[in-house]
Structure 1
């Protein structure tokens, strides 16, 4: 073991949400959200649609104003933040291939000039990791929803992030795609990447996340998935009028 290896295991930041609130017009989207995300961990966010999960990660990404304190505690110099959205909205009639999309997302050189020599190897490796290497010349509009989701995962790998935000990355994946995602999640965990992961598949959260926060405008629970995702807490989380309960901060 070298001296550098322990440092690689803490590459991602710790994150602290301290009474973070978000109000749009007269509607309270987030109400005094307080919890921590440990550095280098896979932390899931679960809750009903409209409960504020996407708004919270947009706040984390600096895309929405908020009240309260949000702190990223990097182990050294601030690193790179990656983001994989839930879905890709585009005109399916566009003659855009997978390579064209990756070029547009991952390099400064205009996509119509093709892949730059500097970025091409990383793009090839990323597409190989998600099982899309053999479909690089396919039009994006001709891909299935699961295949487009794999391409989105691939662009999230370039450049390699230290903090990765995932908005329901499994929503369109088939079984093979879910296996690809699980391998990537394991790779990120081993590399010490901090992963913030919105997910509706509670079985996947139990299996793959280290901690989970239940969010419905407020934090209703937080802790290890096996303990936090009890039937009683989930019933309260997805109810119309949830009640705040104590969190497991162990």
Structure 2
């Protein structure tokens, strides 16, 4: 699967790009001469971040390939503007569920994307990048191929050059723009994938194990980006195996092993009993 796709529904076609970094709203300051009473009479709560992301609804989503059941009546909701983690064992259907969302897999049941206004951009960051490491493709060439319509061999277009430079700066790859992609480490290639996910700005961002190849510095970059996406009100659906990171960073967690076994906050979801059931060979439903 490429990192740029389109999701087609009966009502609209949603371009897949990724990423938005927004500043938190600033707070006003009071004069030193204000009295407590006068200040209290004018107190206004700081504005909440404007939610730009959609609500996702999976209602009885099932997927069968041959005689194998991949997804069994999966039902849960992703709240708008939240960081929603999807956890479970390998082969439990997490990536297949993502592919149904991106229009890559046939399925039964209902999958709905409810936008707050006009349909927006969907961003996708894949788990890994498979390519011929002998290709003479630099980081700039890759970003040009992913982020612009102009052929990559013609170089960066003026329209995207500044955005691409800023995205690479944010992930710490600005000084390696002329390096061949095949010469990068796995963690560096993953940072480049995150960078392409920042262009164009999305309202829905789908992440397939983005931390899998990152080193410690890359993990810090990712965590900072995740905070920025949350502050910007972007809806994030995040597949992750690092349960400690999920516990710290996610707003909500769904445990998936062919079917939904739990759907709760990280503190409620990531208990020893629930995790034992989730990763068992024959999971049973939890009340």
Verify: 1:197 aligned to 2:238, yes or no.
Answer: yes
Which of the pair has more CA radius of gyration? 2
Mapped to 1, the partners of 2:257 and 2:136 lie a distance apart of: 41
Tell me the CA shift for residue 9 of structure 1: 2.1
Task: For 1:66-105, list aligned pairs within 5 A.
Answer: 66-105=107-146
Mapped to 1, the partners of 2:177 and 2:169 lie a distance apart of: 10
Unpaired segments ≥5 residues, structure 1: none
Verify: 1:172 aligned to 2:213, yes or no.
Answer: yes
CA shift digits 1:81-136 (9 cap, x unpaired): 00000000000000100000000000000000000000111100100110000000
Which residue in the other structure is 1:233 paired with?
Answer: 274
Deviates more, 1:234-243 or 1:8-17: 8-17
- Return the TM-score normalized by structure 2: 0.83
DSSP-derived class of the 1:214 partner: strand
Which residue in the other structure is 1:143 paired with?
Answer: 184
Verify: 1:36 aligned to 2:77, yes or no.
Answer: yes
Which residue in the other structure is 1:16 paired with?
Answer: 57
Q: 2:254 aligns with which of 196, 213, 216?
A: 213
Unpaired segments ≥5 residues, structure 2: 1-24, 27-45
Mapped to 2, the partners of 1:65 and 1:217 lie a distance apart of: 16
User: Which consecutive aligned stretches of 4+ in structure 1 deviate over 6 angstroms post-superposition?
Assistant: none
- Return the TM-score normalized by structure 1: 0.95
Tell me the CA shift for residue 226 of structure 1: 1.1
Tell me the CA shift for residue 8 of structure 1: 5.7
Aligned residues: 244
Verify: 1:60 aligned to 2:101, yes or no.
Answer: yes
Coordinate RMSD, CA, aligned: 1.3
Mapped to 2, the partners of 1:170 and 1:64 lie a distance apart of: 24
Mapped to 2, the partners of 1:168 and 1:224 lie a distance apart of: 19
Tell me the CA shift for residue 7 of structure 1: 8.6
Assess, with a 3 A threshold, how the Cα gap between structure 1 residues 103 and 163 changes in structure 2: closer, same or farther: same
Mapped to 1, the partners of 2:48 and 2:244 lie a distance apart of: 32
